[in-house]
């Protein structure tokens, strides 16, 4: 079976750093993806990890530990426009399906 957990809500201040955690339990693993979704809009692909370690893309970084079933998304120099939901999704190795977590709603305050 599949189980993906993320915090439901987080708040942070403009200019700060925030880390959004994701833990997963899957029968087969073939990559972990992070998406950003603003209210009423499409999910936008941010990053993915298939091997252990840190992937950096500008203000966003994502980390994966396959042995621990753990990932995090790190957002630096927060901006008001970063207020959105952040979805962690795991690709199942056997079915190729993308299984989404419930998402973390981030609010950035001035």
List contacts with other proteins (CB under 8 A). 30-31, 33, 35, 40-45, 48, 50, 87, 89, 91, 95-98, 100-103, 105
**Minimum separation from the CB atom of position 88 to other proteins (A):** 9
User: Shortest approach of other proteins to residue 79 CB, angstroms?
Assistant: 20
| Residue 90, strand partner residues | 32, 99
Nearer to other proteins, 17 or 50 (CB): 50
Of the two residues 18 and 87, which places its CB atom closer to other proteins in the complex?
A: 87
Tokens at 90, concatenated: 């795991």
How far is C-alpha 91 from the chain's CA centre?
13
Residue with smaller CB distance to other proteins, 47 or 75: 47
Residue found by looking up tokens 């979805």 in the block: 87
Round to whole Å and give the CA distance between 97 and 9.
26
What is d(CA 110, CA 97) in angstroms, rounded to the nearest whole number? 38
* Nearest distance in Å: CB 15, other proteins: 27
């Amino acid at each position: 079976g599949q189980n993906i957990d993320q915090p439901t809500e987080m708040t942070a201040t403009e200019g700060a750093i925030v880390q959004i955690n994701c833990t997963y339990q899957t029968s087969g693993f073939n990559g972990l993806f992070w998406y950003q979704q603003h209210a009423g809009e499409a999910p936008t692909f941010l990053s993915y990890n298939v091997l252990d370690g840190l992937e950096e893309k500008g203000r966003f970084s994502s980390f994966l530990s396959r042995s621990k079933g753990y990932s995090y998304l790190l957002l630096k120099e927060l901006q008001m426009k970063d207020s959105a939901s952040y979805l962690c999704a795991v690709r199942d190795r056997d079915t190729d399906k993308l299984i989404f977590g419930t998402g973390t709603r981030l609010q950035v305050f001035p």
